[in-house]
Structures are given as C-alpha cells and as structure tokens.
Amino acid sequence: MLPPDIVGRDAFRRSFDFSSFPNLQEVDFGVHWVSGSLLWIPLAFSTLRHTTSPRLSVICLELARSPTAYRSTETLLQDLGDDLRRVADEATRIEREFEGAVNLTVVRGLGFKEALDTLGVRFRFCEWRFVAFVNLHSIPTDSSPVLTAGNGVSADEMTSLC
C-alpha cells in the first residue's frame, strides 16, 4: 500500500483513478526515455481493485531510460528507486487481490536489472529495455495475443531473451 503522505487528497489529480471502471480489462503504461518521477504509475495501480474492476486481466508496463541519464545504478535508484519499489509493491498487492499469477519481465540493460536486483524485485530480465508484464489471471504458455499486446514480443520470444 502506498503511504498516506503519497495518497493525499490531490494525489489523483496527478494520475489515473480507476476506482470506478467496471469494464476495464487492460491497462498499458509506457515511459520511453525515463526522466522525472514515475510516481503516477503506482498511484494509478493503487486504484486497481478487484471489487471495482473485476474484469481486469492484463497490466503491461514498459519503461526505457535515456541513454544519457542514469549512467549508474546508484543514480537511477536515487531518482527512481522509491517509485520502482512502489510499483513492485502495488503489483504484488494486485496479484494477491486478484488471486492470479503475476509475470513481470524486465529487459536487461542501462542499470534497471541491477537497480531492481538491489530492490529485491523478482523480475525476469532481457537485453535493452525494461518491460514489466503483469498477467493477473494466468501465465500464458504459448504466444498468446495477451503477451504480444503490450510489447510486441511473444511469450516464447520473451522467455528466450531472459
């Protein structure tokens, strides 16, 4: 859960509030060339509830950082560590609440693997970008459209990259 000082009265003016989306099935978030805060992502995730969005089945998160920013794991963690940790916490909470499997994939490179290792986040890693994929109901074993929808990489391809 996000701490009270984060979920303030005005917090959701800076993010999505999914607390009344009964038909929501898929959420894709992407930030290419990461800079600035990623707090809006866990804020939005924190509003995804089984009671209010029971049909939710897919969350795809894709992050790629700038080649000129965050040259070290330390600087990346310094700027984004809290946000990434909150993303992971919310993903864990969602997995538990929806009683499904969570499949998170992190593409190796540019410090994200090391940063998330440091945070103790259980992701799979691939080569040049960061992709976190959450399947709330099941982990597909084939090249299903669900897996390709968010990142253009099939389940088999993703596994082979990791």
Partner 1 sequence: MGLEGAPPLRTPSLWKLPQTITSLTINTDAVTLVQLRDVMAHLPSLDNLSLSGSPIPVDRSTLSGIGTTLRGRFGGKLQLRDNCVHKDVVDLLLGDPTGLRFTEVDICCRQECLLPTARLVQACDKTLVKLSYMITSHGKSHFSIQLAES
| 14: contact with partner 1 by CB under 8 A | yes
Give me 28's structure tokens.
């894709």
Q: Which stretch binds partner 1 (CB under 8 A): 26-34, 103-111, 124-132, 154-162?
A: 26-34
Q: Which is nearer to partner 1, 20 or 141 (CB)?
A: 20
CA 126: distance to chain centroid? 15
CB 63 within 8 A of CB 38: yes
Q: C-alpha distances in angstroms, 94 versus 5, 12, 112, 118?
A: 21, 18, 22, 22
Least distance in angstroms from the C-beta of 160 to partner 1: 25
Q: Which residue has the tokens 């310094």?
A: 78
Residue 16 lies near partner 1 (rule: CB under 8 A): yes
- Interface pick for partner 1 out of 2, 24, 69, 161 (rule CB under 8 A): 24
Q: Does 12 bind partner 1 (CB under 8 A)?
A: yes
Q: Between the CA of residue 55 and those of 23, 82, 88, what are the distances in Å?
A: 6, 29, 21
For residue 54, state whether it binds partner 1 (rule: CB under 8 A): no
Rule CB under 8 A: say whether 20 interacts with partner 1.
yes
Alpha carbon 21 to its chain centroid, in Å, reads: 19
| Sole binder of partner 1 in the list 8, 33, 101, 122 (CB under 8 A) | 33
- Residue 67 touching partner 1 (CB under 8 A): no
Q: Which is nearer to partner 1, 66 or 160 (CB)?
A: 66
